[in-house]
Amino acid sequence: MEKSCLIVDLDEKGFKSHFQTISKTIMFPLNTICVMGDEAMDALNEESVVSIVIVVSDSKKCKNAIDLLENFKISVGPLPHFQAIICSDPDPFFLSDIDEYGIENVFSEEDWPYSLQQMLMNIESILQDEESSESKIIKINSAIKKGNKENIKKAKDYIGEYDQYDFLAAYTKGSVLNVMGKYEEATEAFKSSHRLNKSFKPTAVALSENLLILGKIDEAIVLLERLNKQNPRSLIRKTQLVAAYIEKGDTEKACQYLKEAIDLEPSNPKILEIKAQLLMDQGNYKEAFLLMDKMSNVGPYFASKLNNLGIRLSNSEKRKSALFIYEKAHKIVRDDLKFKVSLNAALACYKMEDFTLALKYLERSEREFGGPFEKAEKIRKMCKIGLKKKGTDAKKEAPGKKHADEADKSSERKENSGKGNGNGLKPVKTG
Amino acid sequence: MTESNKMQKQIVITCVSKEERRIFFDEVIKKCNFTSIITCSIYEALRQIEQTMPHLIICDSILPDGTVATIYDKIRPDSILKTIPILVIVVKKTKEHLVPLTGRSFEGILMGEVNGGLLKEKIMEILNARSGLSPHFVPIDKTSLDSNLILSVDALVLGSSEDDKVIYKSNAEIDPGASFVCVPKDKNKDPVLLNRGLNVIKDDGIYNVFPIKRARGKGIKWLFQLPKINISGKRTDEQDDIVRKVVFYDPKMERFTKFKEILRGYNIELFHASSLQSVINILQNYGPIIDFVYLDELPSGSGAFVQFKEFIDKFEEKKRLGVIIATTSQHISSDPYFYYIRKPFSLSLLLEMMENAYKNNKEFENALREENIKSHLEVFFQTPAKLVGFDEHGSILEVRHPISKSSKLRVDHPFINKIWNDTNEAIVTDVFQPSEASPFWYVRVEKLTGTGSKVVYWERVSKLLSDVIIEKKDEEKK
């Protein structure tokens, strides 16, 4: 497949037609697709896109540029040398924002054609080698994006030894391990990437998130505070600090950073996430769940909070409440995280001895994972044993007992009818 | 074309009477940054013209052994020499001094006493009338030759620093914006693509320093395995909490304010200066606490910058300040204490430049003692170039970034290697831009061991070219 460079004109001041004129006289080594801002997101989904160049001199469009860079990171991969900004006099704050993605190519409006040509020549030369770190990163990212768990499992080994001396490869390995739910190993990979290149911010961001997930709060706070000092305009950072201080039990600091986050971008979805977490920490589940109804695409940290809450409820025999949490979580977490929620729901059902429902959740979990996996198989076996045992016990039951069981089931159904609005739940002490 | 580019490596032959005048002309020409060849006779002048094919001849109208007419009549019928301009100096407005000019057309005539300013102006006027290319220039597209070639610079890898920079010793300055493929001579090691290098110029050679984190390719592996050279003598983690103090010249206050806020997050404290004089004042008053200087574009009027440079030069040796100059100019040349960064730049590049300026060369020099060097890995840097054409002085190449004059490198192209008797070792003798707007640089390369008489050289090259010129072949077919 021919590789492409996506050129996005956010300024909309005639760059596209200028580009068409220039491309008649200058040979660009890769196929180039020039689009306007509103076409960019769709164009980014093209499999052929391996590079992006954003034309932005209007400071009002900087946020759109950042969104594109975020999407490129997800769609194609963390390849800063495959990306560029065209802007002759970039605002220092904008430079700081694009530094969050490790972007170093900033071309002037006067000589961008030749700078772009050079960049694309380098990219073409790198990607000609299928074994290059970049080629592998693109393939791995594609597998992650498609949710192809089989390929994701292979991806970890596919990186080979590159992660020992290539910070991008180490970062990608961390991402793969994260998707597989192996947060400890992922953290080690991110630490390795950070050691190889301390100035590559995406690694520091991913590392801080993982430290939070693993409960290494003090370590996370040290890293987050440093990153926040370097760029106090990062909303993600603020929300991570809120989460960290909630975990630490320092509500005052958590609220301070929440205020700073709201001041930055009051309508950002991440604000809802962090508000919900604060409410849950205060025991105000009803309001937290109302907020959750407005959330979507929730990341691994909040997903893990919900999973952990579900597990606590399940272990303290409030299994119906746990199922309620899991259903709520399932609606709002990112697609690649749904399998874990379904798996936890299956486990809760197993503990309730509702093996049939457990098997249904397991089926869903495997569908979301993209195939069977070890933990699901294990629980399935246990459920089948449980079902068999239940069947045997039922044969041995006295006829009178059957009527009492039916009455129990009827009262269970009444209890379940309260699930949808959270009225059946009592606040659970966390921590 | 900028004035400095056109002045590079122009050869001026002067033939004037009287020793004191020869000294005067020599000084003026050298101040113009030309190569000056002084002769005291027509005979000697003609010999030098044959040898060097100069860009300009300055000659008194009459000399003890002849007149300027002798030179004129000798070179004008010559197909190779005829286009060389002649500037005549007529010391006295007498018939005797004016007769040699009769019936001949000279590019310039100066009468009477000539002062330095007038002479320089006239020289510039004559040379500005020409492009950077010789009138004998044969462009590549008139031939059947392939224009692609590879430039290679030999280098020696010395090791890597504690802050993960790989250090090479070479004979060429590298442009910070250029990418280079570093190819080890050891075939067991893979090539690696290097970016954003810096030059550290010392008496014993040129050191090129590249950040390993920006290296790409399979060769990254051996970069990380290089032995360490302790450049600064300090542990890198000692540096993290130190607040660097920077005098920051930026005419745009809003931009300065934003940089101040951002850089504070990296332990860099900025002090604003609104002019170069203001920079000097701050340094005079607070010199001991300032770590380095940042200038956003050189203010118009080079006098201020010359004054600034002189001021910096006078700083105590141990406290020699690094100066970062952000510029949009394509013309960047290395200097031991001036670090150029091309605008627009990324934040990480600015931070890296600041780190380099902070550390400066003193620490670098102290560590480069023989006993500290553990690696002697031979490599060569490669960068693609295009062959533009040929002239009597050498081969003209087109490169994306300027390569410094006097850089030694290898040029691999079958035709050039044939001209040079199967050698590829070259020296850069001239660097200029074809036009001010051009993003490319033209580099003239000559055989490292020299070509002898230019006239003889050009006769040979012209003969070889005649076999590959397309136009001529088309005409022959007709």
Contact B216 A88 (CB under 8 A): no
What's the mean pLDDT in A222-249?
93
Interchain contact, A126 vs B262, CB within 8 Å: no
In sequence order, what are the beta bridge partners of B340?
A: B325
> C-alpha B468: how far from its chain's center?
31
B360 touches A at CB < 8 Å: no
Residues of B in contact with A78 (CB under 8 A): none
Residue with the bigger pLDDT between B474 and A161: it is A161
> Is there a contact between B193 and A167 if contact means CB atoms under 8 Å apart?
no
Nearest CA in chain A to B193: A122
Q: How far is A113 from chain B (nearest CA, A)?
A: 10
Cα A168 from Cα A201, distance rounded (Å): 11
Q: Which amino acid type is present at position A221?
A: I
Which DSSP string do the residues of A232-292 spell out, in sequence order? TT-HHHHHHHHHHHHHHT-HHHHHHHHHHHHHH-TT-HHHHHHHHHHHHHTT-HHHHHHHH
Which chain A residues are closer than 8 Å to B385 by Cβ? none
CB contact under 8 A, A108 and B255: no
Q: What is the dihedral of CA B152, B154, B160, B165, to 10 degrees?
A: -40
State both tokens at B439: 């993003």
B214 contacts on A by Cβ (under 8 Å): 81, 104
* pLDDT tens readout for residues A211-223: 998 999 999 999 9
* Segment A346-374 mean pLDDT: 89
Whether the predicted pLDDT of A159 surpasses 70: yes
> How close B192 comes to chain A (CA, Å)?
10
Instruction: Please tell me the distance from the alpha carbon of residue A84 to that of residue A72, in angstroms, as a whole number.
Output: 12
The neighbour count for residue A124, using CB atoms within 10 Å, is 16
Rg from Cα positions in chain B: 26
Task: Please give the Cα distance from B28 to B116 (Å, whole number).
Answer: 6
Interface test with B, best of A22, A54, A96 (most B CBs within 10 A): A96
The residue ranking higher by pLDDT, A155 or B243, is B243
Radius of gyration of chain A measured on its C-alpha atoms: 25
Q: Which chain A residues touch B343 with a CB distance below 8 Å?
A: 88-89, 108
Location of structure tokens 């950077």: B132
Q: Could you say which of A90, A114, A196 has the minimum Cβ distance to residue B400? A: A114
Cβ–Cβ under 8 Å, residues B323 and B339: yes
**A71 CA: distance to closest CA in chain B (Å):** 20
Q: Do B265 and A229 touch (CB under 8 A)?
A: yes
Tell whether B150 is within 8 A of chain A (Cβ): no
Q: Kindly state the average pLDDT of the residues A296-311.
A: 86
Asked if omega into B77 is within 30° of 0 (cis), the reply is no
Enter the ipTM: 0.81
Are residues B349 and A98, on separate chains, in Cβ contact within 8 Å? no
Kindly state whether B400 is in contact with chain A, defined as any CB-CB distance less than 8 angstroms: yes
Nearest to B346 among A104, A161, A230 (CB): A104
CB contact under 8 A, B213 and A93: no
Q: In what order do the strands lie in the sheet with A83-86?
A: A31-36, A4-9, A49-55, A83-86, A106-107
Q: State phi, psi for B76 to the nearest 5 degrees.
A: -65, -35
Residues of B in contact with A167 (CB under 8 A): 213
User: According to the model, what pLDDT value does residue A419 have?
Assistant: 39
Buried/exposed A303-323: b ≥16 CB within 10 Å, e otherwise: bbbbbebbbbbbeeebbbbbb
Interchain pair B213, A196: CB under 8 A? yes
Distance from CA of B345 to the nearest CA of A (A): 6
Average pLDDT, chain A: 86
- B400–A118 C-beta distance less than 8 A: yes
Out of A96, A113, A229, the one facing B347 most closely (by C-beta) is A96
Measured between alpha carbons, how far is residue B79 from residues B44, B46, B58, B476 in Å?
21, 15, 20, 21
What is the mean pLDDT, run by run of 10 residues, along chain B of 478 residues?
A: 42 90 91 88 92 91 92 89 91 90 91 88 80 74 89 88 81 76 91 84 78 87 84 51 88 93 94 89 85 80 72 68 82 69 91 80 59 78 88 86 80 92 89 71 87 86 89 48
**Can you tell me the distance from the alpha carbon of A49 to that of A120, in angstroms, rounded to the nearest whole number?**
12
Mutate to test the interface with A, among B181, B294, B329, B347 (most CBs of A within 10 A): B347
Q: What is the DSSP letter of A55?
A: E
Tokens representing residue B459 in the block: 């006769």
User: What token pair was written down for A232?
Assistant: 């106090």
Do A92 and B259 lie within an 8 Å CB cutoff?
yes
Choose among B217, B265, B344: nearest Cβ to A230: B265
Chains A, B: CB contacts within 8 A come to 87
- Mean pLDDT (whole number) for A311-331: 87
**A85 three-state secondary structure:** strand
The beta-carbon neighbor of B346 closest among A99, A110, A230 is A99
CB within 8 Å of B167: residues ≥ 6 apart = B157, B158, B159, B160, B161, B207, B208, B209, B229
Q: What angle do CA A349, A355, A361 make, to 5 degrees?
A: 60
What's residue B364's pLDDT? 62
Tell me what pLDDT residue B299 has.
61
Chain B contact probe: residue of A87, A101, A104 with most B CBs at under 10 A: A104
Instruction: Tell me the nearest-neighbour CA distance from B443 into chain A, angstroms.
Output: 18
| Nearest C-alpha neighbor of B75 from the set B98, B94, B91, B52 | B52
CA-nearest residue of chain A to B215? A166
- Test B346 with A95 for CB contact under 8 angstroms: yes
Residue B217: what pLDDT? 87
pLDDT level of residue A431 (50, 70, 90 thresholds) = very low
Q: Are strands B56-60 and B86-90 parallel, antiparallel or unpaired?
A: parallel
Using the Cβ of B265 and the Cβ atoms of chain A, whether some distance falls under 8 Å is answered with yes
Rounded to an integer, the average pLDDT of A263-267 is 90
Q: How far is A299 from chain B (nearest CA, A)?
A: 27
Tokens 């009225």 found at: A423
Using beta carbons and an 8 Å cutoff, which residues of A are at the interface with B? Answer: 81, 87-93, 95-96, 98-99, 102-108, 110-111, 113-114, 118, 122, 125-126, 129, 131-134, 161, 164-167, 196-197, 199-200, 229-232
Residue of B223, B329, B346 for testing the chain A interface, max A β-carbons within 10 Å: B346
From its phi and psi, is residue A249 left (phi > 0), alpha (psi between -120 and 50) or beta?
Answer: left
Cβ neighbourhood burial of B100 (10 Å; 0-12, 13-18, 19+)? buried
> What is the C-alpha to C-alpha distance for residues B298 and A119, in angstroms, rounded to an integer?
28
CB contact under 8 A, B400 and A165: no
What integer pLDDT is reported at residue B436 of this predicted model? 62
**Sequence-distant (≥ 6) Cβ neighbours of residue A79 within 8 angstroms:** A50, A51, A134, A137, A138, A168
Query: Are B347 and A99 in contact (CB < 8 Å)?
Result: yes
Residue of B nearest to A161 (CA): B221
Residue-wise pLDDT tens digits, A80-138: 999 999 999 999 999 999 999 999 999 999 889 988 998 998 899 889 988 888 998 99
> How many alpha carbons lie under 13 Å from residue B115 in its C-beta half-sphere?
2
Query: What does the DSSP 8-state code read for residue B471?
Result: H
